[in-house]
A = this chain, B = another copy of it.
Amino acid sequence: MKITIKDVAREANVSIATVSRVLNGTGKVNKKTKEQVLKAVKKLGYKTSTIPLAQDLKIIGILVPDLFAYHYSEIIEGATETLRKNGYGSIIATFNGRILEEEVAIEYFFTRRVYGVIVCTSEEDDEKLRRLLDIAIPVVTVDRENTDFRFDSVNIDNYLGGKMVAKYLLSKGHKKFLHITGDIDLYSIRYRRDGFKYQIEKSGGRVNVLESSFTTGTTYKKLKEYIRKNGVDFTAIFTSDDLIALETLKVLYDEGIKVPDDVSVMGFDDGYMAQFSIPPLTTVKQPRKEMGKMAARLLIDRLNPEKRNSVVRKMMMSLEIVERESVKNIER
């Protein structure tokens, strides 16, 4: 006889909704009730239908450079959510930008026979990834520069993102810009810069580029130096991401430069803190969670034998500008 959630509820003397809250970790349940439910689950040997036993668990490997701040974490969150709903578990490996470790992680996924791999990573690993394909382990890449290898992929159009920001700021009357970059060895950061510069210069505007990095504190220091040396030779700043924008806001505050009255600031990402900065940040929403979900969906499709030979799919997720209070129209 199959044990159902009803049996657990009866045994624990609580409602079905309560059992569900405890097992799914949604909503609040007091500690005593929680214990009752877990006791009943254990006693009856209940297993939910969506979560298989570990030995039957189909595992997907997810490889990311790091877990700093929100970027890869939110991609992972989206991916694991969709995988779980489809009966897959996931394990994550990071490689902190070290190429050899990235190879080891891929090898590890390979030797432990994962069902598929989601890779958010650099461009030097084509050959290793191809080995996975050769032995029919499906690979989906996320946020990774396109190459001629035939992987399914999920990306945003970073070049277009840069152009969108440029058009938005130009429409507010700005003509002199400072662009502050993150780590320039990331293709996404170069593309944002190039799209931005292209659009501004095409319209007769001027962009100075300040090469910074995502390491906390770098932008604060570099922007202070820049202003000391050049003064405020811009009316708007575009930063590679929101964390750099936050450091930028702090520099301007410390220098007595008002945002957006004296200088406009625009970020990129719409990270979880962008709405609570002072002032709230106008930025570009990058759908990280959706990117993860889409990657999982592409991978699950590949794991369906009927779909295995379909064409390679390159998904471009759309971007949208989120208007808050850090950009001023200076035409009026």
Within 8 A of B (CB), among A270-325: 272-273, 275-278, 280
In the complex, how many angstroms separate the beta carbon of A220 from the nearest chain B beta carbon?
Answer: 7
**Residues of chain B within 8 A of A93, CB atoms compared:** 89-92
Q: Mark A242-278, 1 if CB is under 8 A from B, else 0.
A: 0100110110010000000000000000001101111
In the complex, how many angstroms separate the beta carbon of A16 from the nearest chain B beta carbon?
Answer: 16
Q: Which residue of B lies closest to A98 (CB)?
A: B25
- Taking a contact as CB atoms under 8 Å apart, the answer to whether A278 and B276 are in contact is no
Integer count of this chain's copies in the complex: 2
Given A89-B104, A107-B53, A99 and B276 contact (CB-CB distance below 8 Å): no
A55-B111, A92-B93 known; 4 other A-B pairs, CB under 8 Å? A28-B185, A89-B105, A89-B108, A243-B273
A residues neighboring B (CB under 8 Å): 22-25, 28, 31, 34-35, 38, 42, 47-48, 51-55, 57, 59, 66-70, 73, 76-77, 80, 84, 89-94, 96-101, 104-105, 107-108, 110-112, 124, 127, 185, 216-217, 220, 243, 246-247, 249-250, 253, 272-273, 275-278, 280
Which 7 A-B pairs rank lowest in CB-CB distance, beginning with the nearest?
Answer: A54-B107, A25-B97, A67-B73, A92-B92, A25-B98, A250-B276, A91-B91
